[in-house]
């Protein structure tokens, strides 16, 4: 029987740097032929576009598959399994498969899918890489005081004291074989070490925690871990389940109670913008006012032949010109992602102002 093809799952919260890390990996693939499966929250396909446009020889367009029918952890059977089967059925199958989950995905259901008949004999999960926005975590965005939460929980079993954010974050950490503390460039001296120590304590035994800037890690560190994660799922318990299960029995296979309806996304479309940096300022202001988690997309700037890529994680907005517009309409399209209850009408108006 031929050896199983290794697959690496790259997970991590919205904007942590998953696409950036994968791009770096493709640019330094050391001749490995890597196929990508990308699942994005929000329907603009920004990540796919960025990766397809990478111009890397070893990565052709057909090696990038986008799954856009909702979140990969909820559409495993309909979407993910058929995609895997068609990748595996190719005449020239890839050396390695990398799966980028959406920033809101729970990795556990995806890893579990590798036990499906027809899949389990042909691929194996080489490892789960969890990318962490070092700056956001260090600033306490996902932090919750474990002791305080546990004390509260003891008083009232029925109350769910977790925020959807911290719960997701914990699940992504619990599933990791390797944690990448990314955005080290934004951390003060000593901050990265502290964070590494903290995450190491939260993660399962033996999980490596590495630091990176712009996801720049050698492919030999990221790939080839040889873990076979699908075989030890019970060690990667889902937090939500775990917390309500005080008899320490994590083995039930019932689905995670987390719903993606705690988050929402929509697209804002507008005409050209007059000035790139003024628009970035405006976007940052809107993000602050409306508590937007993530915003990304492409803008058309008056007089500029190139398309402006806009990426915001919290109020920090990055922009760069990525490629000429070509024949497509010169419009501005942005996907906005946040916790449920965003004031879409007001955000739309503010971004069009
Ligand atoms: N300063 C800094 N910015 C970074 C670093 N890594 C990524 N970024 C920026 O952070 C933003 C988000 O990066 P992505 O790679 O798109 O993040 P992602 O995790 O794929 O985002 P989603 O797919 O939306 O969940 C982009 O503007 C990146 O340029 C880093 O190490 N340092």
Tell me the pLDDT tens digit for each residue of 27-47: 888 888 899 998 877 666 677
Q: Are 123 and 224 within one domain? A: yes
Domain membership of residue 307 as a residue range: 262-352
- For residue 101 and ligand 1, the question of a CB distance below 6 A is answered with no
Same domain, yes or no: 305 and 200: no
Task: Quote helix, strand, coil % in the chain, to nearest 5.
Answer: 35, 25, 40
pLDDT at 154: 55
Please report the pLDDT score of residue 1 as a whole number: 59
Average pLDDT over residues 90-99: 91
Considering the chain, what percentage of its residues have pLDDT values greater than 90? 44
Task: Say yes or no: CB of residue 185 within 6 Å of ligand 1.
Answer: yes
83: alpha, beta or left, given left = phi > 0 and alpha = psi -120 to 50?
alpha
**Torsion sign, CA atoms 271, 274, 280, 283:** negative
pLDDT range class, residue 249, cuts 50, 70, 90: very low
pLDDT confidence of 158, banded at 50, 70, 90? very low
Same domain? For 157 and 275 the reply is no
pLDDT in tens, 294-332: 899 999 999 999 999 999 987 789 999 988 988 889 999
Alpha-carbon distance of 346 to 353, in angstroms, equals 10
Last residue within a domain, chosen from 227, 258, 289: 258
Q: What does the pLDDT read at residue 244?
A: 34
Q: Pick from 19, 24, 98 the residue to mutate for probing ligand 1's pocket: most ligand atoms within 8 Å of its CB.
A: 19
pLDDT of residue 242 exceeding 50, the answer is no
**pTM for the predicted model, two decimal places:** 0.80
Nearest-10 crossing angle of helices 276-290, 344-352: 160
- pLDDT value of position 79: 83
Whether residue 330 sits in one domain with residue 241 = no
Ligand 1 atom closest to 311 (CA)? 27
Residue 35: give its domain's CATH number.
3.40.50.300
Q: Looking at the structure, tell me whether residues 129 and 80 fall in a common domain.
A: yes
Residue 191 sits in the same domain as residue 312: no
Report in angstroms the alpha-carbon separations of 90 from 94, 125, 173.
9, 19, 33
Helix (H, G, I), strand (E, B) or coil at 266: strand
Whose alpha carbon is nearest atom 3 of ligand 1?
A: 183
Tokens 């994680």 belong to 313
Is the pLDDT score of 147 beyond 80?
no
Ligand 1: residue whose CA is nearest its atom 1:
183
Q: Report d(CA 163, CA 82) in Å as an integer.
A: 33
Average pLDDT over residues 132-155: 66
Q: Residue 243's pLDDT band (boundaries 50, 70, 90)?
A: very low
Examine the domain organization and report whether 116 and 233 are in the same domain. yes
Distance, CA of 154 to CA of 349 (rounded, Å): 45
User: Residue 99 in 3-state DSSP?
Assistant: strand
Those residues with Cβ within 8 angstroms of residue 261's Cβ, 6 or more apart along the chain or in another chain = 340
Is residue 155 pLDDT above 70, yes or no? no
Residues 202 and 250 in one domain: yes
Q: Looking at the structure, tell me whether residues 282 and 240 fall in a common domain.
A: no
What 8-state DSSP symbol labels residue 43?
T
**Is the pLDDT at 13 greater than 50, yes or no?**
yes
Question: Looking at 258, 275, 308, which one is the last position of a domain?
Answer: 258
- pLDDT averaged over the chain? 82
pLDDT, position 150: 53
Find, among 20, 100, 21, 96, the residue nearest to 66 by Cα.
100
Nearest CA to ligand 1 atom 6: 214
Pick the residue whose CA is nearest to atom 27 on ligand 1.
311
**Together in a domain, 223 and 343:** no
Residue 221's pLDDT band (boundaries 50, 70, 90)? confident
Any ligand 1 atom below 6 A from CB of 216: no
For the chain, the domain total comes to: 2
Decide if 22 contacts 51 (C-beta within 8 A).
yes
- Given a cut of 90, is residue 148 above it in pLDDT? no
Same domain, 174 and 226: yes
pLDDT of res. 126 = 95
Same-domain status, 187 and 84? yes
Give all strands (DSSP E) within 41-195, no chain letters: 64-67, 96-100, 123-133, 178-182
What's the distance, Cα to Cα, between the start and end of the chain in Å?
Answer: 61
Q: What is the mean pLDDT of residues 327-353?
A: 92
Reading the block at residue 189, the tokens are: 């001296």
DSSP state of 103: T
pLDDT of the residue at 239: 62
Confidence tier at 233 by pLDDT (50, 70, 90): confident
pLDDT at 141 over 80: no
The closest alpha carbon to 128, from 101, 104, 164, belongs to 101
pLDDT the model gives residue 97: 95
Question: Tell me, what CATH number does 307's domain have?
Answer: 3.30.1220.10
What's the average model confidence in pLDDT over 102-117? 88
Q: Which is nearest to 110 in space by CA: 74, 84, 66, 63?
A: 74
Question: Edge-to-edge, what's the strand order for the sheet holding 294-300?
Answer: 263-270, 332-339, 294-300, 306-313, 316-324
220 phi and psi angles, rounded to 5 deg? -70, -20
Which of 41-50, 111-120, 315-324, 332-341 comes out lowest in average pLDDT?
41-50
Q: Which two tokens stand for residue 113?
A: 């899918």
Q: Is the CB of 225 under 6 A from ligand 1?
A: no
Which of 258, 287, 310 is at the close of a domain?
258
């Amino acid at each position: 029987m031929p050896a199983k093809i290794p697959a690496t799952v790259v997970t991590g919260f919205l904007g942590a740097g998953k696409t950036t890390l994968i791009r770096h990996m493709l640019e330094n693939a050391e001749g490995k032929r890597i196929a990508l499966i990308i699942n994005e929250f929000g329907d603009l396909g920004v990540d796919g576009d960025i990766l397809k446009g990478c111009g890397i020889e070893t990565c052709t367009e057909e090696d990038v598959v986008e799954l856009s029918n909702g979140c990969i952890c909820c559409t495993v059977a309909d979407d993910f399994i058929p995609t895997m089967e068609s990748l595996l059925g190719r005449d020239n199958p890839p050396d390695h498969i990398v799966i980028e989950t959406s920033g809101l995905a729970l990795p556990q259901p995806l890893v579990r899918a590798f036990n499906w008949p027809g899949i389990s004999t042909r691929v194996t999960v080489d490892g789960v890489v969890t990318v962490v926005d070092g700056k956001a975590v260090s600033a306490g965005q996902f932090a919750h005081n474990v002791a305080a939460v546990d004390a509260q929980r003891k008083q009232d079993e029925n109350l769910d004291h977790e925020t959807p954010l911290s719960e997701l974050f914990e699940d992504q950490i619990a599933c990791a074989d390797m944690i990448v503390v990314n955005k080290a460039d934004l951390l003060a001296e000593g901050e990265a070490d502290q964070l590494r120590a903290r995450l190491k304590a939260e993660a399962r035994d033996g999980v490596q925690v590495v630091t990176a800037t712009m996801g720049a890690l050698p492919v030999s560190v990221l790939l080839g871990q040889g873990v076979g994660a699908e075989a030890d799922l019970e060690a990667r318990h889902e937090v939500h389940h775990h917390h309500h299960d005080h008899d320490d029995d994590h083995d039930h296979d019932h689905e995670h109670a987390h719903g993606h309806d705690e988050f929402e996304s929509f697209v804002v479309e507008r005409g050209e913008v007059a000035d790139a940096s003024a628009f970035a300022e405006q976007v940052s202001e809107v993000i602050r006012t409306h508590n937007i988690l993530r915003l990304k997309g492409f803008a058309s700037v008056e007089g500029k032949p190139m398309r402006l890529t806009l990426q915001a994680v919290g109020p920090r907005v990055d922009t760069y010109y990525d490629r000429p517009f070509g024949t497509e309409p010169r419009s501005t399209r942005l996907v906005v992602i946040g916790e449920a209850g965003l004031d879409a009408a007001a955000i739309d108006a503010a971004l069009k102002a």
